[in-house]
Amino acid sequence: MNFTELHQQKSPLIIANIWDAGSAIAAQQAGYQALATSSAAIAAMLGYEDGEAIAFDEMHYIVTRIKSVTHLPLSVDLEAGFGRTTDEIAAHLIRLARPGVVGINLEDSRVVNGCRQLNDAEVFAATIKQLRNAVARESPLFFNIRTDTFLLDHKQAVAAANGANRIAIVIPCHRIIGKDGALTGYGGGIARKAWLIEHEKRCLMICASN
């Protein structure tokens, strides 16, 4: 099965984290269906701190070695993209897609002067859209987007993560209501919270009727 089909199985897809060719071979022999690199593990293996201290070319070399020893679908943890501009990051994604990488992980934070900082949510969303469009012309890639509000101990991390998410529900805090049954504050706005609750009800009714 390809990576798309693996996501559509009835059982959960469990992906093995790897960091070099040896760990990729071990994961494949253990029966995993797909692989994903760990940026922190690769950095540590090469003597770097996590947070894009490693050069992209070094990361790319490790990825090509992994691809040379396994046929399993591979997703790459690209941290913040190893670039300061959308064009730079897009060029990196295209380079990864050419040897057969099927997915990437991007974070909504980056390390600046040794301190990890969240990106502006609107700017980050626009960047993701631009990257999707740029890569689609070369090769379709799965985008896994990681939010670092929890990692950075962000105040009201659950609400912030859900409010900034315009695509899917990460954690269903929209179901929380006040003691009097009224809708309470929500990062995405009360109108969106009401829509999500009604949308869930409609989906449950459709499932019940089938």
- 3-state DSSP assignment of residue 170: coil
Q: Nearest 5 degrees, angle CA 33-CA 35-CA 40? A: 155
pLDDT per residue rounded down to tens, the chain (210 residues): 888 889 888 888 999 999 999 999 999 999 999 999 999 999 999 999 888 889 999 999 999 999 999 999 999 999 888 988 999 999 999 999 999 999 999 888 777 777 777 777 788 888 889 999 888 877 789 998 887 666 666 666 666 666 665 555 444 554 556 666 676 665 666 777 677 777 777 776 776 665
Q: Is the Cβ–Cβ distance between 171 and 158 less than 8 Å?
A: yes
pLDDT in the model for residue 195: 78
The DSSP call for residue 119 is P
SS3 content of the chain, % helix, strand, coil (to 5): 45, 15, 40
Q: What's residue 61's pLDDT?
A: 96
d(CA 64, CA 140): 18
* pLDDT for position 58: 95
Nearest to 13 by CA among 4, 22, 26: 4
For residue 176 the two structure tokens come to 């929380």
